[in-house]
Amino acid sequence: MREEGMSGFKGYPKMGRHYKLGKVLLSREVIQKRIVELSVEIRKAYRKKPFLVLGLLNGSLFFVADLLRNLPLRTEVEFLQLKSYSGTSSRGYIQGLELIDKKKIASKNILVIDDILDSGLTLSAVKEALYKAGASAVEFCVLLKKKKKEQLPIEPRWVGFEIPDEFVVGYGLDFEGMFRGLKSIHSFSTLGEEDEKKEEGPLP
């Protein structure tokens, strides 16, 4: 790309701040310690029977990778990319369930790994689809579960942490594709124009 000479440089365009990265809810150290504890519980549960780990992309990528390091080396792993979020609100519509490979699922014990349990609609739909595909048994392990007043349609067997009912990012969780790479999990909010004017300091 051809660049303009520095003599005519008028400065970089300003990038508006449209979000607020909040406090750390769960540090990297706390997350890793809990993952080891979860792996011990999972190994005991599947001690005498083989199982297949099904990671739900994209949010569970880091969680699955770290969990697998503490599970038996022969553990089978598959991934399924679903889409049920747009921005900070759940859409209630799930794309990707049609991609489940029945040949890999049939007659197997399936452990579904996900990053967060919010409305429960995604996991409920996944469970139904896996049983239709011929799975022998389906269990769920989520890193995060939001505290809700209402009854959720599904209850995971393993939960890493319960968190407040707010939007979070980091350790695989994103906002419009950003912030997945944060090592810790942070609270997060979007800002209106008036809120942006009050915010100071550089973008993270």
Catalytic residues: 118
Q: CA distances (Å), 136 to each of 75, 97, 119, 133, 147, in order? A: 16, 18, 25, 10, 30
Is the distance from CB of 175 to CB of 19 less than 8 angstroms? Answer: yes
User: If we measure between CA atoms, which residue out of 63, 92, 97 comes closest to residue 80?
Assistant: 97
Structure tokens, 155:
């209850």
Residue 50 backbone zone (phi > 0: left; psi -120 to 50: alpha; other: beta) = beta
Q: Cite the DSSP H helix spans in the chain.
A: 28-45, 61-68, 102-105, 121-132, 193-198
Give me the residue label for tokens 């769920």: 140
Answer positive or negative: Cα dihedral of 59, 63, 69, 71: negative
199 with 15: CB under 8 angstroms? no
Residue 63 has a CB neighbour count (10 Å cut-off) of 26
Tokens matching residue 128? 């139904």
Two structure tokens written together for 33: 């310690």
